[in-house]
Chain A
Amino acid sequence: MPDPVRRPIDVRIDSPGREGLTGTVPASVYAPLADQEQITVAPDGRPMEEQPSWRADFPIDWPQDEYVERRDFMKFLVLISLAFTAGQFWIVMENYWRRGTGQPDIRRVASLDDIPVGGATTFAYPGEHDPCVLVRPAENVVVAYSQKCTHLSCAVRPLVDRGLLQCPCHEGAFELSSGRPVAGPPSRPLPVVQLQVRGREVFATGIDQRTV
């Protein structure tokens, strides 16, 4: 039981009343310091006596709250990081799967007799769910591209008189002669379907994907 006459003094070395004391005095002489972990500060920094009553009624350990929030946010970011890495390795797996499918077959896709100059037709190549568009802008010229816009896979439509393939969803446009994007959100060219004309018949021989 502490001596009621002697007030416990602050343990810090420069505190008033501690002058002349050495380390030999009993520990009971010193007042215990408040635990730093227990000291809470309101967001505006003012003492609790000056805070509104609602804050006194619902006390929150603000520094602890801040620490826990940042820690949990960091955990969440690490989870996001894991998801991004999984996405990268999913691309690796997709690449292996794509390599395994090999080159697409050569297939007859149209006849020049069926397509007038300035006309177009659609076909599926290499799979049945890969729509393509074949355009005949001049007598001896045929070009074919994947019909899926490289932005969000809407179907592009040929505007032969303007020399464009237009995507109606977001007003994207591709050059008819090369398939390169010239307007709108698409950043990659349309994949080119390689063609061979044998007599009057048009054959698709492969797909050429490009980044620029």
Chain B
Amino acid sequence: MRVTRPFTRAQRTIVVYGMLTFVLMLVVLQLWLLTATMNAFLGGDTSVIWPAAWVSLVCLLLNLGLLGYLYRIERTRT
């Protein structure tokens, strides 16, 4: 039988710190992607536009997934 125990507040704080670190790295990656893509676009190089847009979208989905997980562990609180 699977037992689901809610996280304590201390555990949730550690979890949110870990997720925050990951989200921060993804956002920095997205910032770099945006500046590099803008530079390429203004220079007439359009080959990177679509790949950069997809990678940025994947980063956003990862971030939303982590945020969703945060909401889920909030709901299991006692």
Contacts and interface: CB of A to CB of B under 8 A. Distances in A.
Contacts of B3: none
A92 B50 CA distance: 7
Contact of B20 (A77, A208, A211): A77
Interface stretch (A48-56, A61-69, A156-164): A61-69
Contacts of B53: 85, 88-89, 91-92
A211 B43 contact: yes
B10 to A, nearest CB: 7
B16 A67 contact: yes
B56 A85 contact: yes
B17 A85 contact: no
B9 interface: yes
A36 B12 CA distance: 12
Given A81-B23, A150-B42, 5 more contacts: A74-B16, A78-B60, A81-B59, A91-B52, A208-B44
25 contacts: A63-B9, A63-B10, A67-B9, A67-B16, A74-B19, A74-B20, A74-B23, A74-B67, A74-B70, A77-B24, A77-B63, A78-B60, A81-B27, A81-B30, A84-B56, A85-B59, A85-B60, A88-B33, A88-B49, A88-B52, A95-B46, A188-B42, A209-B42, A209-B43, A211-B40
Interface residues of A, number: 35
Interface of A: 36-37, 63-64, 66-67, 70-71, 73-75, 77-78, 80-82, 84-85, 87-89, 91-92, 94-95, 150, 187-189, 191, 208-212
A95 B44 contact: no
B43 A70 contact: no
Given A77-B20, A84-B34, A208-B44, A70 B13 contact: yes
Contact of B63 (A78, A187, A211, A212): A78
B30 A71 contact: no
Contacts of B13: 63, 66-67, 70
B67 A78 contact: yes
Given A67-B9, A81-B63, A209-B43, A88 B34 contact: yes
B26 to A, nearest CB: 7
Interface residues of B, number: 41
Given A74-B20, A82-B60, A211 B45 contact: yes
A36 B59 contact: no
Nearest to A66: B13
Nearest to B26: A81
A191 B45 CA distance: 12
A78 B43 contact: no
